[in-house]
Homo-oligomer: A and B are copies of this chain.
């Protein structure tokens, strides 16, 4: 596809570096922005830049934050002894949305994946181990491994579990089972199998 303008071409090229955005979508975005108010485009342009210049990762949990320590880590109301280890920022949001968790987080920023060249030192594992070891900023009593159930996620959980054993901290993981509202008929066998194996007392 040959574009009629170098400026358009450059914008399309750069928009198509966004995850899951092809040349065609990028062109649609660019042509849309051409028609927008200059003020709106200026705002967008600035906002994107601020993602790099003004946005931080929390010093303790590595969640994104406007401040050096995020509101969750600095909140008086959270249970400081529980740390939920997740792959990325979206996972924190998903768990926060449930309103069922009052502990803290630790965002690894990925999982161990030799095939993608992501090793132990490329993600926030050392800082997690240090957090448990030193008890800074808060002593840790329980680590919840809430990583994805993929080969990479499981590998990472296994590694963390082994590394954390010596510390004597309690290590738990998310319950896996048939989703609320799902019929058993359509649940996959592994999930249903785990649901049965890890059955829990009936609650009234």
Please list the residues of chain A having a beta carbon within 8 angstroms of any beta carbon in chain B.
1-8, 10-11, 14-15, 17-21, 25, 27-34, 36, 38, 40-55, 63-66, 70-72, 88-90, 92-93, 96-97
Query: Which residues of B lie under 8 Å from residue A93 when comparing CB positions?
Result: 1-4
**Docked complex Cα distance between A44 and B10 (Å):** 9
Residues A51 and B33 in contact in the complex (CB < 8 Å), given A4-B64, A44-B15, A92-B4 = yes
Query: Which residues of B lie under 8 Å from residue A43 when comparing CB positions?
Result: 14
Query: Which residues of B lie under 8 Å from residue A40 when comparing CB positions?
Result: 14, 17
Residue among B4, B25, B33 making CB contact with A71, cutoff 8 Å = B4
Contact B52 A42 (CB under 8 A): yes
**Docked complex Cα distance between A70 and B34 (Å):** 16
Contact B34 A28 (CB under 8 A): no
